[in-house]
A and B are shown apart, each in its own frame.
Chain A
Amino acid sequence: MTGWGRPEFTASAGTRVHAAVLGPADAPDLVCVHGWGCSHRYFGPLARRLSGRFRVVAVDLPGFGSTLGPAEPLDVRGLSTALGDWMRATGRGGAALVGNSAGCQVIADLAVHSPELLGPVVLSGPSVDRRARSYPRQFGRILVDMRWERVGLTRLLVRDYLRCGPRRLRATARFLLADPVERKLGHIRTPAVVVRGSRDTIVPRAWTRECTALLPQGYSAEIPGAGHILNYSAPAELARITCSLLDRTGSEDR
């Protein structure tokens, strides 16, 4: 129904972490980390395009999607610790990571305290632009961006947001806006690509340029005509860019 394979549940991070899985069991793992208020669900289109080569695992961070979270919403460090815990518990240390939007912040934070868990990294639409860290700006930009997204995304996001609940959404947004991600990107020492859609209003080109420059082994890519949620609205392109990164690093033969 959802296009995913059998779900995976793992006792870790003090909860029962849910991950959606797609792809052959013997293929190398590729872990997807969702953004603010989202879940594994919007990674579906990307997963379908990568599942021939990888075992795509889209995890729901505590409090999002099908993973219950603590009553108190987690901050960025809390989320990245949970991600790290889950990666250790499932033996996925060193797997390739694909983050979208705030998922990139979680990955960058993970790199600060557990760099050994990171494989090659795809940062797609990394948030939050240093020059626009305020609620009105971010919400304004999100609304404008929807114009460039594929139909169906809004419905999917609204469901995820409702499931997450307004309290957690608000608290998480506050943490994300205060997160100095530019001071952490330098810790991602593995090969990494920063991807943005050329029409992305949330993540301007100047910002991804800055992010790329901070990565020790980073380069950038840009998908013409695409918006912010590349894994949903430009999945074929993002899949190809992901494959090129992994071809370069040869991590497939890990």
Chain B
Amino acid sequence: MEPSPAGYFDGMRIKDRVVVVTGASSGIGRAAALALAGHDCALVLTARREGALQQVAEECTARGGQAIVVPADVTDADAVQQVARQALDRFGRIDVWINAAAVTVFGPFQDTPLQDFRRVVDVNLMGYVHGCRAALAVLREQGRGVLINVSSIVGVIAQPYTPAYGTTKFAIRALSTSLRQELWLDGARGVKVCTVLPATIDTPLFQQAANYTGREVRAMPPVYTPERVAHTIVSLVRRPRREVVVGPMGRSLVLQSKFTPGFVEKLMAFQVHRRHLSRKHPAPAGSGNLHEPAAGTGSARGGWHGGRRTALRRTATAAMLLGAAVASASRRQR
């Protein structure tokens, strides 16, 4: 609870942390809130849908954590400031702030309505800026804390038909780095800024997206579970790192893009064209949850079978390894 004496800091015990989560009503934010609640954390949940947040709060309490709900639209700087205030009013400090509220629009650049493009930038980028401002004011005063910005591997390798989203995800990495540098120059060693770069995650993001491609948006395989990202976030609180990729496919893509950027760029374009956008199912044009939240009380998973697919991939990998082992063993015996 006390600021660390010399200001040196390498992570904290996860138990009893006060954590603010934006985008807590759905997907990764929701999964992170639940995981942290399981570690006895006190959560401050925010997003637009109050009903969904109430449900998350109840689930958090059932897992042994505490939670308060503060609905806010992250594009409203004052509302985000109010979230921080409420956290302090209720829990007296903020140990961790997680920015995960985002929206996206699919569509060829010229066909995407400008107001939708602008809204994505407003929510994804300015929303994080508002979060960072509110959070860092408190973390710096405390001399301690972790700020976690959820970007995406799309923040390293862009995709076609989502220029707004990709732009914001690149920008978030720059934002995090810049803040980290300022903190370092100021000698604020107790405050850490981390960026999380997930690969495709099984969340409602794709159903909720605005879409002007005329084709249905699908989760591009391989799909990983939101709980996996939540797990990474928990580990970042314990041991902050600058940037972490979630999902082995994401890691290999990021690595490969350093050596063969041109090839990876084309590979990504091809994959999105072939596998992200359905070739069979058409979809009407619509602005998704950009301007109004989706109906219902939300969920962490998006129904893309992330869990099953992960299990299948693991089984396949295990079988392959086993096969290889058997083959090499039998060869040696001969």
Contact = CB atoms under 8 A, between A and B. Distances in A.
A203 B142 CA distance: 27
Interface string B12-50: 000111100000000000000000000011100000000
Contacts of B93: 223, 236-237, 240
A140 B41 CA distance: 27
Interface in B255-281: none
A223 B91 contact: yes
Contacts of A150: 2
Contacts of A199: 16
B88 interface: yes
Contacts of B142: 236
B85 interface: yes
A198 B16 contact: yes
Interface in A211-249: 219, 221-226, 233-234, 236-238, 240-241, 244
A244 B91 contact: no
A198 B91 CA distance: 10
B89 A225 contact: no
Given A224-B66, A244-B85, A234 B92 contact: yes
Nearest to A244: B89
Nearest to B94: A240
Nearest to A230: B92
Nearest to A239: B92
8 contacts: A222-B66, A222-B90, A224-B18, A225-B1, A234-B1, A234-B92, A237-B91, A241-B92
A236 B141 CA distance: 10
Interface of A: 150, 195, 198-199, 219, 221-226, 233-234, 236-238, 240-241, 244
B42 A198 contact: yes
Q: How large is the interface on B (under 10, 10 to 19, 20 to 34, 35 or more residues)?
A: 10 to 19
Interface in B56-94: 66, 85, 88-93
B88 A224 contact: no
B270 to A, nearest CB: 48
A221 B41 contact: no
B1 A233 contact: yes
Given A222-B91, A233-B1, 7 more contacts: A219-B89, A223-B93, A224-B18, A225-B16, A236-B2, A236-B142, A237-B92
Nearest to A225: B16
A158 B71 CA distance: 47
Nearest to B17: A224
Contacts of A238: 92
Contacts of A237: 1, 91-93
Contact of B89 (A233, A236, A241): A241
A225 B40 CA distance: 9
Contact of B1 (A195, A222, A236, A244): A236
B90 A226 contact: no
Contact of B41 (A219, A224, A241, A244): A224
Nearest to B92: A237
A221 B90 contact: yes
B191 to A, nearest CB: 15
Contacts of B88: 240-241, 244
A98 B42 CA distance: 24
A141 B41 CA distance: 23
Interface string B98-136: 000000000000000000000000000000000000000
Contacts of B90: 221-222
